[in-house]
Amino acid sequence: DAKTTQPPSMDCAEGRAANLPCNHSTISGNEYVYWYRQIHSQGPQYIIHGLKNNETNEMASLIITEDRKSSTLILPHATLRDTAVYYCIVRVADKDKLVFGTGTILRVKS
Amino acid sequence: DAGVIQSPRHEVTEMGQEVTLRCKPISGHDYLFWYRQTMMRGLELLIYFNNNVPIDDSGMPEDRFSAKMPNASFSTLKIQPSEPRDSAVYFCASSLSGDGYTFGSGTRLTVV
């Protein structure tokens, strides 16, 4: 699976959009971009995934650049409960392993 | 569905003792994964099963660790003998056809 690069930490004001970047310059054509998050003391939680088109669900939006070398996870109106570690993972969909990196610690502040 | 259920939530044991962690995956899911999380090493995949068959155990740290899945609704991770460096949070996850994973709440293991 391709490697990803994420900033170690970010801050965001409550109510504002949180934009979390991820670089995956060596991504292959059949690899998807997955986002998970882990709130303190809980197991990781699936957020969203996409191949090349932008995706949106009730939790977040995923913007993937045209060359697919980077992506941005957007939480449109961050709340204090969104404070968590966010993991960007690249893998072939339905391929077995999900390998976690170090992620981005997002702190939402009031 | 109650999600992935792990037990116990917390386990404190003495070095040298046997420890058994348990996991009940989501009904109908055909993949089951065991992860370990520590501050130093982050989230590590230990082993995973597909249709109750172990597929990849390359993440199992040593022979003291073993995992079984006797049926589709139950799995165990056993450490014998346990050591202080095994202290970590152990997560179980399941998925359907290897796609989106659902994680349990974890078992916090402390070996003293």
Task: Using an 8 Å CB-CB cutoff, list chain B residues near A8.
Answer: none
Q: Which residue of A has its CA nearest to B89?
A: A41
B90 touches chain A (CB under 8 A): no
For residue A40, the chain B residue with the least C-alpha distance is B105
* Shortest Cα distance, chain B CAs vs residue A103, angstroms: 10
**Cα B93 from Cα B100, distance rounded (Å):** 10
Residue A3's pLDDT is what?
Answer: 86
Tens digit of each residue's pLDDT (9 = 90 or more) over B73-104: 999 999 999 999 999 999 999 999 877 899 99
- pLDDT tens digits, one per residue of A29-41: 889 999 999 999 8
- Position A94 scores a pLDDT of 67
User: Is A43 in contact with B100 (Cβ distance < 8 A)?
Assistant: no
Count of A-B CB contacts under 8 Å:
46
pLDDT value for A1: 58
The alpha carbon of residue A41 is apart from the nearest alpha carbon of chain B, in Å, by 8
Residue B98 confidence (pLDDT): 75
Q: Supply the pLDDT for residue B62.
A: 87
CB contact under 8 A, B48 and A96: yes
Q: How far is CA B101 from CA A1, A94, A98, B69, in A?
A: 17, 10, 8, 18
Q: Does B53 have pLDDT greater than 60?
A: yes
Integer CA distances (angstroms), B25 to A64, A95, B3, B42, in order: 32, 19, 7, 23
Q: Is B106 on the interface with A (CB under 8 A)?
A: yes
pLDDT value of position A95: 67
3-state helix, strand, coil in chain A (%, to 5): 5, 50, 50
What's the pLDDT score for residue A85?
Answer: 97
Query: Over chain A (110 residues), what is each successive 10-residue block's mean pLDDT?
Result: 87 97 92 94 93 94 96 97 96 78 95
Residues 59-88 of chain B with CB under 8 A from chain A are: none
- DSSP classification of residue A68: S
**Could you tell me the pLDDT band of residue B45, with boundaries at 50, 70 and 90?**
very high
Q: What is the model's pLDDT at position A53?
A: 86
How many angstroms separate the CA atoms of B79 and B101, rounded?
A: 24
